[in-house]
Amino acid sequence: MAERPEDGNAKLDQELRRGVIVLATLSQLQTPQYGYSLRQALADQGMAVEEGTLYPLLRRLEGQGLLASEWRIEDGPPRRYYTLSAEGKKLYAALIVSWRSLVGVVDRLIGEAPAEKRKTS
Amino acid sequence: MKSGSESSARLIEAYVVDVIRRLPRRQRNDVGFELRALLTEGLRDRAGDTGRLPDEAMALEHVREFGRPDEVAARYHPPGVPIIPPAQTRGFVWATLIGVGLQWAISLPMVFSGQTLPALPESSRLGAWWVSYGLGALWWPGFLVSVMIVAAWVRQAWPAATSDWKPKAVDQHRINRPLFVFGLAGALCGVALWVGIAWSVMTFDNPFTRALAFDPVFLATRAPALLVFWAGGITLMVVLIIEGQWRDLTRRIDLGFKIIACALMAWFIFGGRIFVADPADQSVKGAMALIVLLMLGQLAFDAWRLAGRIRPPQARRS
């Protein structure tokens, strides 16, 4: 069955966002957060991430040694809090550099597009 | 109301169990505990947003939004090594279908004609075929998967060695001279053998020469065509060895020779006797039929390779 254009667009949008979820997540884990509070923190700043994507991601990042975690009991049931590990901090710094460079390049590219259009029309 | 909360908790519990049973044993408890707490908290907030207490329907909606248990479990796994890489999936499927299809195509008529399993009555042959050759043909996909598993393991164990691309043949036109010299020697030996047989048959009279005596009609009509064909083929090989490479002309001539060879052999097989004695005649014709099949396979492969070459697109001039 052929893919509907809107499905394709949604997928591309999802892929674009997926690429930055790791960076967004690392940015919020300089202080310990548990899954739900992290999701809220991201959503409050306009970066809504599905729970089904975020929670497994935390585990995978921990498995890669980028996050450290521990169970804590504060005001409620036990919760697993995640924070950046030393390795995670290094990666976060490197990703910021890559991101800024990428944003600059893409901004230039997007900025050139209308001019190019004008030239050809 | 309390029952609604209980049923939603039970539903979340069932969902969590469904997810963690797909995870490695050592992760299950930890992930399960965390996931249950997170889902419960999420459901509580959702209920707060809607202004009602959580119930089963709300819990179901919540976990459905979270994702199918198998998909969620897959997200917990680190990215693995695919056993069949996407670029090889199509080839794998074709190899599987062709391999199984060929085995069935050969075994089914043999069983139904009574060549194999002759003692069985006709009514039970299909069932007997299915439990023997039919299911037995599935060794082939199993074998292919095993090969792919080994290949995936090699890719993972030696990523640097397997990821570095090496050219197979930079110059596709250059020929392998030693191989062609060897082939030329083989062709000359073949000609000498046939001519030697013909000469000894005409010169000596003993059981050996009688067994290999050529049919006089073959010698008078079809054999000269074979000699002309051999002369042409040997000349082409000599030219290629001297030039050291293929040219478009020599490639076309080679293609023509292959087609002529198939036609000649088909003529020999169906055009009457080659040898006077049946055993020699039948075995040589059997060998020729096999060679024709191999050559047709080679021609099909050449055509496929030619089709696979990168051709310029039909571009519109602007």
ipTM for the predicted complex comes to 0.78
Q: How confident is the model at residue B276 (pLDDT cuts 50, 70, 90)?
A: confident
Residue numbers in A near B23 (CB within 8 A): none
Secondary element (H or E) of residue A101: helix A86-120
If you count residue pairs, one on A and one on B, with CB atoms under 8 Å apart, how many are there? Answer: 45
Nearest CA in chain A to B71: A52
Residue numbers in B near A81 (CB within 8 A): none
Span between the terminal Cα atoms of chain A, in Å: 37
Of B183-192, B200-209, B263-272, least confident by mean pLDDT is B200-209
- In this prediction, residue B12 carries a pLDDT of 94
Give the integer Cα–Cα distance in Å for B105 and B133: 10
Domain ranges of chain B: 2-76, 86-163, 177-308
Is the Cβ–Cβ distance between B284 and B223 less than 8 Å? no
pLDDT at A67 over 60: yes
pLDDT at A75 over 80: no
Give the integer Cα–Cα distance in Å for A71 and B125: 65
Mean pLDDT score, B191-200 = 84
Q: How far is CA B21 from CA A37, B25, B31, in A?
A: 26, 8, 11
pLDDT at B297 over 60: yes
- In this prediction, residue B170 carries a pLDDT of 59
Domain ranges of chain A: 5-120
Nearest CA in chain A to B45: A36
Please name the member of B38, B67, B78 whose beta carbon is closest to the beta carbon of A35. Answer: B38
Please name the member of A36, A52, A78 whose beta carbon is closest to the beta carbon of B41. Answer: A36
Percent of chain A with pLDDT over 90: 63
Q: Which two tokens stand for residue B202?
A: 């005409």
Please name the member of B38, B71, B78 whose beta carbon is closest to the beta carbon of A55. Answer: B38
pLDDT at B272 over 60: yes
Of A58-72, B76-90, B150-164, B298-312, the range with the highest mean pLDDT is A58-72
Which residues numbered 61-120 in A keep a CB inside 8 Å of some CB on B?
Answer: 63-64, 77-80
Of A27-36, B112-121, B252-261, B288-297, least confident by mean pLDDT is B112-121
Q: Report the mean per-residue pLDDT for chain B.
A: 87
Mean pLDDT score, B18-31 = 92
pLDDT at B94 over 80: yes
Closest CA to B218 of B272, B267, B287, B281: B272
pLDDT at B310 over 90: no
Cβ of A52 and B75 within 8 Å?
yes
Q: How confident is the model at residue B3 (pLDDT cuts 50, 70, 90)?
A: low
Q: How confident is the model at residue B135 (pLDDT cuts 50, 70, 90)?
A: very high
Cβ of B65 and A50 within 8 Å?
yes
Residue numbers in B near A60 (CB within 8 A): 75-78
- In this prediction, residue A112 carries a pLDDT of 63
User: For A5-120, CATH number?
Assistant: 1.10.10.10
Total-model pTM: 0.60
Nearest CA in chain A to B77: A60
Mean pLDDT score, B16-45 = 92
Q: How confident is the model at residue A121 (pLDDT cuts 50, 70, 90)?
A: very low
Q: How confident is the model at residue B318 (pLDDT cuts 50, 70, 90)?
A: low
Mean pLDDT score, B179-196 = 90
Cβ of A79 and B66 within 8 Å?
no
